[in-house]
Structure 1
Amino acid sequence: MRAVVIETFGELPTVQVVPDPAPAAGGVVITVEATGVCRSDWHTLQGHDADVRLPHVAGHELAGRIAAMGPDVRGWRVGERVTVPFVCACGRCEQCASGNQQICDRQFQPGATHWGSFAEHVAIDNAEVNLVRIPDALSSVTAAALGCRFATAFRAVLRQGDVRPGQWVAVHGCGGAGISAVMLAAAAGAQVVAVDLAPAALVLARELGAVATVDGRVTADTAAAVTAITGGGAHLSLDCVGLPATCAASVSSLRKRGTHVQVGLMPPVQGVPPIPMHRVIGNELRIVGTHGLQAHEYPAMLRFVAGAGLDLDRMVGATIALDGVPAALMAMNDPVPAAAGVTVAELVR
């Protein structure tokens, strides 16, 4: 199969022909029809994940069809359209037993702990726990965009953030996860303030429901700007970038008893955020993390999308071929992208 292979951290990957994967006894091989290009993949390319060994194939937001199954798989058939969470679970540990597969003790992550979906085929273990059927009405490109960023934002806003109608929500960073959070929070009845450096991202945020925006290029103190717009601070604030500065700004933009949800990955190599703990104590703030979405929560997410009438295709900013993935990853070195929305590689039309 053809795959995008990382041979040296931080350098341009190349498209190569590599061996086809084979399914484990309880796993499947999926023919990849579409795969999102996510900032998490950029972190992998940069070598920020100590568990990644080279050569490596990244990619974790995928949609496709089951091409082969192991002998122990039940309830699925070859040819079915599927996606998976970016955190795949074992189905047997204490966390899985409690329904928290997103923090499985023996989790595996396509594109991080295992070779991923920047390839024509990808192997997924523990299929019965991790596979999610794709509704007929959802294209593979749109389904791929759900896998990490939208699903993570769904849990961040509606589960960990427990958003309520009428609340103020600040979204720091309007890339894939951030723009998903804007759409979801607005659909839940919240008033959203979007913060970003990229003009195109702020325009899209307005189009998807934000009532106000803050341009980080011209506003040095974005937390103060959010506090002024919201009349005292956000009830819920999300750092969807994953930098020390954006994390600190998100916490500082909260009103009393507000909640900060950390969405963007924060590899230690990028530094420790200067969180104002005196404000956390004095204002009784909540700081929580979020780590993907369980496979069993996907139906609830899709029901929310249908009930709110969300047009998920509006998240997709660019569709490229597999050969375009290396350049798309390297373009993430620019902190202010020219285009907005999610980039998806389409392998099968």
Structure 2
Amino acid sequence: MRAVVFERYGEPAAVREVADPEPAEHGVVVRVEATGLCRSDWHGWQGHDPDITLPHVPGHELAGVVEAVGARVTGWRAGDRVTVPFVCACGSCPACAAGDQQVCERQTQPGFTHWGSFAHYVALDHADVNLVAVPHGMSFATAASLGCRFATAYRAVVQQGRVAAGEWVAVHGCGGVGLSAVMIAAAAGARVVAVDVSPAALGLARRFGAAECVDASAVRDPAEAVRDLTGGGAHLSLDALGAPATCAASVGGLRRRGRHVQVGLLPSPTGTTPVPMARAIALELELLGSHGMAAHSYPPMLELVRAGVLRPDLLVTSTIGLDAAPAALAALGTAPGAGVTVVEPWS
């Protein structure tokens, strides 16, 4: 098959022929019809993820058709239209037994723990636990955007963030995750403040329901700007980018007893990120993490998509072929862009 491969961190990836994957006994191989280009893929390419072994094929946000099925898989067969959370759970550890597959103790992640979906085919583990049926009528490009960014934003806003109608929600970083969070929070009846340095991203945020927008490059203190716009601070704030500055601004823009959810991956798992903990103590803030969403939690989100309340299809702003993926991956470091770019490996 053809796949995007990098041999060294931070050096140009290339499209080349590699061996087709084989399914594990508990897994499947999926023919990739669409796969999202995500900032997490850029972090992996930069060497920020300790699970990656070189050479490597990135890509973790995918949808396609089941091509081959392992001997122990009971719920899926060749030809099924599927997507998958970016965290593939084992289904048997204590976290999975509690229903918390998104923090599985033995999780695998395509594009990180093994070769990913910037390829014609990808192997996925523990299919009976992890696969999600793609509804008929939903495009593969839309389905691909659900597996990481949209589902991650949904859980961060609804489940971890506990958004309520009438609350102020600040979203720092309006890439794919951030724009998804804007749409989801607005659909829940919240008033959203979108924060970014890109006029194009802020324009999309307003289109998807943001009541206010803050150009972080044009203000002295984005946290202060959020507090001013919301009359004292956001009830819920998300760092959807993953940078020390956006993390601190998200916490700094909260009102008393507000809730910060860290969604974006921070640059280095071994580094430190300064967080204004004195403010967290004084205002009794909640500081929460959010790490994807388990497959069993997809149905309420999919029903809102089916009903047209949520429109993840509108987030897809660019579609490219596999040959354009290496340059697009590298560009995420300096120009994250607005909306979601989808790679169609067979085009």
Please report the TM-score for the alignment, with normalisation by the length of structure 1: 0.97
Structure 1 residue 100: Cα displacement: 0.2
Name the residue aligned to 2:153: 153
Structure 2 CA distance, aligned partners of 1:207 and 1:173? 15
2:12 maps to 1:9: no
Uncovered stretches (5+) of structure 1, i.e. residues with no partner? none
SS in 2 for 1:4: strand
Structure 1 residue 53: Cα displacement: 1.0
Name the residue aligned to 1:347: 345
Matches within 5 A, 1:1-349: 1-268=1-268, 271-307=271-307, 309-334=309-334, 336-337=335-336, 339-348=337-346
Which has the higher mean CA deviation after the structures are superposed, 302-311 or 21-30? 302-311
The 8 Å contact of residues 243 and 270 in structure 1, kept in 2 or not, is answered as: no
The 8 Å contact of residues 320 and 344 in structure 1, kept in 2 or not, is answered as: yes
The 8 Å contact of residues 118 and 345 in structure 2, kept in 1 or not, is answered as: no
Structure 1 CA distance, aligned partners of 2:275 and 2:38? 26
Q: Deviations over 1:288-319 (max 9, x none)?
A: 00000000011121113334522222101100
Q: Which runs of 4+ in 1 moved over 4 A?
A: none
For residue 225 of structure 1, what is the amino acid of its counterpart?
Answer: A
Structure 1 CA distance, aligned partners of 2:320 and 2:195? 27
Uncovered stretches (5+) of structure 2, i.e. residues with no partner? none
The 8 Å contact of residues 187 and 308 in structure 1, kept in 2 or not, is answered as: no
Structure 1 residue 270: Cα displacement: 8.4
Structure 1 CA distance, aligned partners of 2:17 and 2:198? 36
Q: CA RMSD in A?
A: 1.2
Structure 1 CA distance, aligned partners of 2:271 and 2:314? 34
The 8 Å contact of residues 154 and 181 in structure 2, kept in 1 or not, is answered as: yes
For residue 278 of structure 2, what is the amino acid of its counterpart?
Answer: H
Structure 1 CA distance, aligned partners of 2:259 and 2:220? 23
The 8 Å contact of residues 152 and 293 in structure 2, kept in 1 or not, is answered as: yes
The 8 Å contact of residues 120 and 346 in structure 2, kept in 1 or not, is answered as: no
Please report the TM-score for the alignment, with normalisation by the length of structure 2: 0.98
Structure 2 CA distance, aligned partners of 1:146 and 1:63? 9
SS in 2 for 1:268: coil
Structure 2 CA distance, aligned partners of 1:68 and 1:276? 50
Structure 1 residue 220: Cα displacement: 2.5
Structure 1 residue 272: Cα displacement: 2.2
Count of residues in Structure 1 that have an aligned counterpart in Structure 2:
347
Structure 1 residue 271: Cα displacement: 4.4
For residue 102 of structure 1, what is the amino acid of its counterpart?
Answer: Q
The 8 Å contact of residues 49 and 267 in structure 1, kept in 2 or not, is answered as: no
